Amino acid sequence: MADKLNVVPFVSVDNMMRLVLAIGVERFLRELAATIEEDFRRWHLFDKQPRLASHSADGVIELMPTSDGTTYGFKYVNGHPKNARSGRQTVAAFGVLADVGNGYPMLLTEMTILTALRTAAMSAVAAKYLAPKGARTMAIIGNGAQAEFQALAFKALIGIDSLRLYDIDPAASAKCRRNLAGFGFRIAICSSTAEAVEGADIVTTATADKQCATILTDNLVGPGIHINAVGGDCPGKTELHPDILRRSDIVVEYAPQTRLEGEIQQLPADHPVTELWRVIAGEVPGRSDDRQITLFDSVGFAVEDFSALRYLRSVLAGTGFFEDLDLLADPDDPRDLFGMLLRAEGRAGPDPAAP
């Protein structure tokens, strides 16, 4: 990649797609998941805070920053469920990785596709520690933009090969089955949540509506199941009946943020939860018995985006799947920024103090 001070590698949507396809989606997910695990094992190094959110009646715009002391990263992301009606993405994002030592950005990238990949990779990392052994069947409730990524991540990391799909819009399930054809899944489209959950080892909920909904009811959750709750990710937006939460061993990314945004916003603030980094580090067990109900209350956290940015930068060199972006001013004399502006117009004359 370029080493000029004013040039920053930029990964466009087109180049992101080319890169993912060149690496292979499942390999990309496995390697991204490994990077997430590496960073969660050094959890104590990271700055941590709930994301900075600006809520409106139409959705939310968020900034998600963190640093490990050497590198800084942030993501800008929105969540607007009504966007689909006008042909826009419900979630769109971009991100930056920068050098803490000098403050200069090292990478600028689209993160709509990258966020979909990291969300799925994060889900599969959690399931690696929480799902029942030998899990092969997953129900996906909500078959929108995230569904295929979730399916492929669980295939790549867990070995899921059977999918049971349900969405209130049958066209979404048909789209999902069509997109996943040829990836080695057995796929059943179901007519209800109850039908989809029947026989599933893992249940992923990934709906988009910004409301306190009951996508999954308590009577549908039997012993031994793992729930991957992805859709409830902001205040006032949930998917699970509270009784499910009370019966489950709940694992979260960063408790102060999840208590505001996740399924556990429905519970008292002192309800016990376990942060995933402790499970990955071996401080506490994940799944401990066959009848245990485990729940990953996933809302997305800045460290995961940092991992995604770090992984992306590590695989870019030599690929050509980026552009050199003239982003930063680089005057010959760092103290003479205005002179740089004048020289661009050809107005700057000789220095009268010069010999």
Residue that has been written with the tokens 């004359």 in this structure: 349
Active-site residues, by number, are 233
The full set of domain ranges for the chain reads 7-113+305-326, 123-300
CA–CA gap between residue 84 and residue 174 (Å, rounded): 17
Tell me, what's the pLDDT at 355?
A: 53
- Could you tell me which residues are beta bridge partners of residue 74? 65, 96
Task: Select 7-113+305-326's CATH number: 3.40.50.261, 3.40.190.170, 3.30.1780.10, 3.90.1150.10.
Answer: 3.30.1780.10
| Contacts of 245 by beta carbon, 8 Å cutoff, 6+ apart | 263, 264, 266, 267, 271, 295
Q: What is the CA 196 to chain-centroid distance, rounded? A: 24
Query: Tens place of pLDDT for every residue, the chain, 355 residues?
Result: 556 778 999 999 999 999 999 999 999 999 999 999 999 999 999 999 999 999 898 888 999 999 999 999 999 999 888 898 899 988 899 999 999 999 999 999 999 999 999 999 999 999 999 999 999 999 999 999 999 999 999 999 999 999 999 999 999 999 999 999 999 999 999 999 999 999 999 999 999 776 778 899 999 999 999 999 998 887 888 999 999 999 999 999 999 999 999 999 999 999 999 999 999 999 999 999 999 999 999 999 999 999 999 999 999 989 999 999 999 988 889 999 999 999 888 765 555 555 5
| H helix intervals, the chain | 13-23, 25-41, 112-130, 147-157, 170-180, 193-197, 242-247, 255-261, 276-280, 302-316, 337-345
What is the Cα Rg of the chain in Å?
Answer: 22
Do 307 and 36 contact (CB within 8 A), yes or no? yes
pLDDT for res 349: 56
Distance of CA 319 to the CA centre of its chain: 24
Give the CATH number of domain 123-300. Answer: 3.40.50.720
Cβ proximity of 317 and 25 under 8 Å = no
